[in-house]
Amino acid sequence: MKILILTHRVPFPQNGGYPIVVCNTIRGLVNLGHEVSLVSLNAKAHRHDNAFEDDDLIGRINYRSYDIDASISLFDGFLNMFSKNSYNIERYYDENFEKLLVRTVRNTNYDIIQFEGLFVAPYVDSVRKNCKSKLVYRTHNIEHQIWERLAQQKSDPFKKYYLKLMARRIKKYEIQQINKFDAIAVFTGQDKSTMMLYGATIPVEIVPVGIDLGHYHPDFSKTEFPSLFFLGSLDWMPNREGIEWFLQTFHNSLANDELRVRFYVAGNDIPEEFDDYEVLGKIFIQGEVDNGLEFVNSKSIMIVPLLSGGGMRVKIVEGMAMQKCIISTSLGAEGINYKNGVNILIANTRNEFFKAIRRCVADEDYCKAVGMNARKLIEEQHDVNKVTNNLVSLYGQLV
C-alpha cells in the first residue's frame, strides 16, 4: 500500500513519546513492504536540526518538512479567550502548508493518509476534498482530558478557569472531527470507550504503542543500584507538573537520607529554576542527555509521577523494555496491561510512593524480578512487528 503520514512536528530525533511512536510505526510499515511518505510540520517550538536526522529511516521513505511558527504568544493566548476556537490547535494551521498538502494528495494516489494526532486535524477537510484516499486518525491522547486533569490540580482560580476553558474548546473540536475520518486508531481501551461515547460511527481499533525490541539491550553491569530517575520532556505540561510535585514532595526525604537513594532528573526543556532542587550528591538535575537509553540503563528505579495526561506513556513501554523497575501512578500506566507488584509498582499518593521506593531500594533482587517481568510483557504485547500487523489489518478493512 501507499501510505502518507502527517505529523505536527518532525519526529527526528526520537527524543520523546510522539517521535518514537511515529518512527516505529513507519519502520514497521516499511519492514512489511509498504511505501511510506512522511510530511511534517516543522514548528518553531520543535525546530528540526538536519544534523539529527535518522538517515537509515529517512533513506527508506519519501520525507518532506515544512517550517511554520507554532510558538505560543501570551498576547494571542489572551485574545483567544474572547474567541470560540482553540488557540492550541489554531496555531498549527498554515495556509501555505495546506496548499502544499493539497498538491501532494492530488499528485499521488495514496491508499491511506494517517493523521498523527489532533494538531494536524485542521487539514482533514481540504485533504478529503482533494483525494479518494482512506483517512485514518490516530489519537496519541484524548487531548481535552489532559487540560481537564491539569485544571483539577490547580488551586489558582484564574489558572483553573483558563484550563477549563481550553478543555471545553478542545473537547468540542475533538468531537467535531471524529467522524470526518474513515477509521480511528487508539492506544488504549479507555480511549476507545471515550471515542464511542462521543459518537464515533466509524471503526475504532486499539493499536497499542509498538517498539523495536532490537534497540533495547539492558546491561546490569552498568546500572547503579539503588538509584531513582525520571526521564521526560518538560515542554509537555503533565510531565512538568508531575515531576514538580514529586520533587516538592520528596525533596526533604531525599536530602536528609530518609530515603537513602540518589535521584536523577533528565529530559528536554528543563527550566533553569529546576537547578534549585539540586542537592550535592543526592539530587541531580541533568537536563538533556546524549543517549536516552544509555541513561535509562545506568539507573535502576524509574519514577513516573503523572497526575494528568492520557493515552499510553511511551517512556514506560521503553523503561519496561530496558527491564527497569518502574513506580508509576495508575494514570501514568494507563493502557498498559500491567500487574501491580509483578511488572510495575503503582503509587498514587505520597505515602504509596514512599513505601514503594523504600521497598525497591532495600531489595535489588525484587527490582530485577519486576524488570524481567516487565520485559516479558513488552515482548508479548508491544513488539512493533506485532503491533504494525494490527494497524495494517485496520487499513485492510478500509481499502
> Contact 265/230 with Cβ under 8 angstroms?
yes
CATH number of 2-210+383-398: 3.40.50.2000
Look up cell 486518525; give the residue. Answer: 137
> Contact 335/208 with Cβ under 8 angstroms?
yes
Within the chain, which residue ranges are assigned CATH 3.40.50.2000?
A: 2-210+383-398, 214-381
Nearest of 79, 78, 88 to residue 118 by alpha carbon = 88
The pTM score is: 0.87
The Cα–Cα gap between 118 and 89 comes to: 8
Length of the chain: 399
The Cα–Cα gap between 123 and 108 comes to: 17
Q: Which residues pair with 230 in a beta bridge?
A: 265
CATH classification (class only), 214-381: alpha beta
The strand ranges marked E within the chain are 2-7, 35-43, 62-68, 112-116, 134-139, 183-186, 204-206, 227-231, 262-266, 283-287, 301-304, 325-328, 345-346
> Contact 377/208 with Cβ under 8 angstroms?
no
pLDDT tens by residue, the chain, 399 residues: 999 999 999 998 887 789 999 999 999 999 999 999 999 999 865 555 554 555 688 989 999 999 998 776 654 555 455 455 566 788 899 999 999 999 999 999 999 999 999 999 999 999 999 999 999 999 998 888 877 877 887 888 888 888 888 889 999 999 999 999 999 999 989 899 999 999 999 999 999 999 999 999 999 999 999 999 999 989 888 899 999 999 999 999 999 999 999 999 999 889 999 999 999 999 999 999 989 999 999 999 999 999 876 667 899 999 999 999 999 999 999 889 999 999 999 999 999 999 999 999 999 999 999 999 999 999 999 999 999 999 999 999 999
